[in-house]
């Protein structure tokens, strides 16, 4: 049976060899290689592969035809082979970016505008490009097809997770006016424990010990921060402090949490482009989780009507619930929570909403990505009673930036604020006594 390159795109080789040529700067004529790559792919895309040769032989033969008359080195020829081989067995131009352990985010704005994030810093990758918009869409389709998803003019947006836990978001025309736009947030399995956060300076050992005790004593907690600040990573790490004796239910749009406890039930929303009647939202899953006898409910992110149901769960015996919220600090997080509850259409006075929030939430943890790309837990605070109908927060730990070093790194210090927080009494009442030295250093 004859085969085209389109068919070959679906071939899965178990022994796929890694691409080793990634130093694009060694080639004197990058434009020539790009043009040859374009010519070979476009020539092969609809051609039939002869049945009497292997896939690799076919690629080599087509490359030989394309480069006839050009004086290319063996290294350049191998580079061309790897580009085409990645089209068939990998994910096109971004195959090496996906395999790189240093890259945390890949952003495709246009065929020749690809940015990557390394150590929190965005850089344009000049070594990678697509042939055209169709090439981008074809690569996205290849990524999401095993997930049972598709992207086209009638389904111009997709938000899903890849098998390794990475998150992919793609938007194409007519929603995007400049062509396909793709964002891939890669899952980093190296950041899995609190010791790693201490090592990189995201928080102090005492802050880590306090958060450990707070989770074990079933404090209700919200982790807030901006986009890419590390909220989900921190949520995943703090969730690791939950004991194996508890039944944990996680609720996410795309399952990113990697909990190692024995009794974990993971629920994931279902979106549809066709009929909203078949859509299953975060709110639906939060409501349903209450019927599943949870000891802990962990919501990947609250951003809408489900906020009220999450607060209700925290107020009705489901202590130790954890979630994240997109906000620029604890006060902003509280304001957003109020807005989300009001979005649910509940006719509740603002004062009553605030009292509900205070009774439900014990701690707010704020994490930020600093100007040097590093993440810092900049605030751990508890909620006090209303004062003049306003929620007052009591800071327990904080980070203050003092300036920048000569190399551009953020210079600052962590502070443990004076006084014993009221949440410490709740922690002690649950039999957690191993952080006494933090607040009573003389004992």
158 HSE (CA, 13 A, CB side): 26
pLDDT band at 443 (very low <50, low <70, confident <90, very high): low
User: pLDDT value at position 257?
Assistant: 83
ω into 174 cis (within 30 of 0): yes
* Strand blocks (E) in 74-199: 103-110, 113-118, 121-124, 157-161, 167-171, 181-185
Q: Minimum mean pLDDT among 159-173, 222-236, 425-439: which range?
A: 159-173
pLDDT tens digits, 112-131: 999 999 877 889 998 888 88
- Whether the per-residue pLDDT at 300 is higher than 80: the answer is yes
User: What are the beta bridge partners of residue 266?
Assistant: 250
pLDDT band at 94 (very low <50, low <70, confident <90, very high): very high
Residue 70: CB atoms within 10 A of its CB come to: 12
| 294 contacts 270 by C-beta, under 8 angstroms | no
User: pLDDT value at position 21?
Assistant: 33
User: pLDDT value at position 442?
Assistant: 60
Distance of alpha carbon 172 from alpha carbon 183, whole angstroms: 12
- Whether the per-residue pLDDT at 102 is higher than 50: the answer is yes
Overall average pLDDT of the 107-116 stretch = 95
Distance of alpha carbon 238 from alpha carbon 323, whole angstroms: 11
Q: Minimum mean pLDDT among 143-157, 262-276, 404-418: which range?
A: 262-276
Overall average pLDDT of the 419-430 stretch = 93
Which residues, including other chains, have CB under 8 Å from residue 443's CB and lie 6 or more apart? 436, 437
Q: Which long-range contacts (CB under 8 A, 24 or more apart) does 122-127 make?
A: 125/97, 126/24, 127/22, 127/24, 127/25
Residue of 228, 200, 34, 268 whose CA lies nearest to 116: 228
- Whether the per-residue pLDDT at 342 is higher than 80: the answer is yes
User: pLDDT value at position 201?
Assistant: 93
Q: Residue 302 to residues 124, 210, 269, 337: CA-CA distances in angstroms?
A: 32, 24, 13, 9
Q: For the chain, what is the mean pLDDT?
A: 84
- Whether the per-residue pLDDT at 4 is higher than 90: the answer is no
pLDDT tens digits, 25-48: 445 566 776 777 777 776 666 667
* Strand blocks (E) in 227-293: 248-252, 264-268
User: pLDDT value at position 195?
Assistant: 92
User: pLDDT value at position 3?
Assistant: 44
Q: Residue 33 to residues 24, 44, 128, 154, 339: CA-CA distances in angstroms?
A: 10, 16, 12, 35, 53
Dihedral angle over CA of 359, 238, 121, 131, nearest 10 = -100
Overall average pLDDT of the 422-429 stretch = 93
Overall average pLDDT of the 267-285 stretch = 75
pLDDT tens digits, 198-216: 999 999 999 999 999 999 9
User: pLDDT value at position 190?
Assistant: 54
- Whether the per-residue pLDDT at 16 is higher than 80: the answer is no
Q: Residue 256 to residues 168, 179, 407, 419: CA-CA distances in angstroms?
A: 12, 28, 34, 37
User: pLDDT value at position 227?
Assistant: 85
pLDDT band at 162 (very low <50, low <70, confident <90, very high): confident
User: pLDDT value at position 176?
Assistant: 93
Q: Which domains does the chain have, with CATH numbers?
A: 1-89 (no CATH), 91-188 (3.30.450.90), 194-439 (3.40.50.300)
pLDDT tens digits, 367-390: 999 988 889 999 999 999 888 899
User: pLDDT value at position 44?
Assistant: 66
- Whether the per-residue pLDDT at 91 is higher than 90: the answer is no
């Amino acid at each position: 049976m004859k085969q085209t390159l389109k068919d070959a795109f679906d071939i899965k080789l178990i022994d796929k060899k890694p691409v080793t040529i990634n130093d694009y700067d060694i080639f004197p004529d990058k434009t020539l290689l790009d043009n040859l790559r374009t010519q070979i792919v476009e020539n092969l895309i609809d051609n039939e592969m002869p049945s009497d040769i292997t896939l690799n032989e076919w690629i080599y033969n087509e490359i030989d035809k394309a480069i006839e008359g050009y004086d290319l080195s063996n290294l350049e020829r191998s580079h061309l082979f790897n580009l085409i081989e990645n089209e068939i067995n990998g994910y096109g131009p971004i195959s090496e970016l996906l395999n790189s352990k240093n890259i945390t985010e890949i952003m495709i704005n246009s065929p020749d505008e690809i940015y990557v994030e390394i150590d929190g810093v965005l850089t344009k990758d000049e070594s990678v490009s697509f042939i055209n918009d169709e090439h981008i869409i074809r690569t996205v389709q290849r990524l999401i097809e095993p997930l049972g998803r598709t992207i086209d003019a009638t389904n111009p947006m997709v938000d899903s997770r890849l098998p390794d836990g990475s998150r992919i978001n793609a938007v194409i025309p007519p929603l995007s006016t400049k062509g396909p736009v793709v964002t891939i947030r890669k899952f980093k399995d190296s950041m899995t424990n609190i010791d790693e956060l201490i090592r990189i300076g995201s928080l102090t050992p005492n802050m880590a010990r306090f958060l450990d005790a707070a989770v074990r004593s079933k404090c209700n907690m919200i982790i807030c921060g901006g986009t890419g600040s590390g909220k989900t990573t921190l949520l995943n790490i703090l969730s690791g402090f939950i004991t194996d004796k508890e039944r944990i239910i996680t609720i996410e749009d795309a399952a990113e949490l990697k909990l190692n406890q024995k009794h974990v039930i993971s629920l994931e929303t279902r979106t549809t482009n066709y009929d909203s009647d078949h859509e299953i939202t975060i709110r639906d899953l939060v409501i349903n989780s209450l019927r599943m006898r949870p000891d802990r409910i962990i919501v990947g992110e609250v951003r809408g009507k489900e906020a009220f149901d999450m607060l209700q769960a925290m107020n009705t015996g489901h202590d130790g619930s954890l979630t994240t919220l997109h906000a620029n600090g604890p006060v902003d997080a509280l304001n957003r929570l109020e807005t989300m509850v009001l979005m649910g259409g509940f006719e509740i006075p603002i004062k009553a909403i605030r009292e509900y929030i205070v009774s439900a939430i014990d701690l707010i943890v704020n994490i930020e990505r600093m100007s040097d790309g590093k993440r810092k837990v900049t605030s751990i605070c508890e909620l006090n009673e209303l004062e003049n109908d306003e929620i007052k927060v009591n800071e327990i730990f904080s980070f203050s930036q003092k300036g920048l070093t000569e190399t551009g790194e953020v210079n600052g210090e962590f502070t443990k604020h004076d006084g014993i927080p009221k949440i410490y009494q709740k922690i002690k009442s649950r039999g957690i006594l191993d952080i006494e030295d933090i607040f009573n250093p003389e004992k």
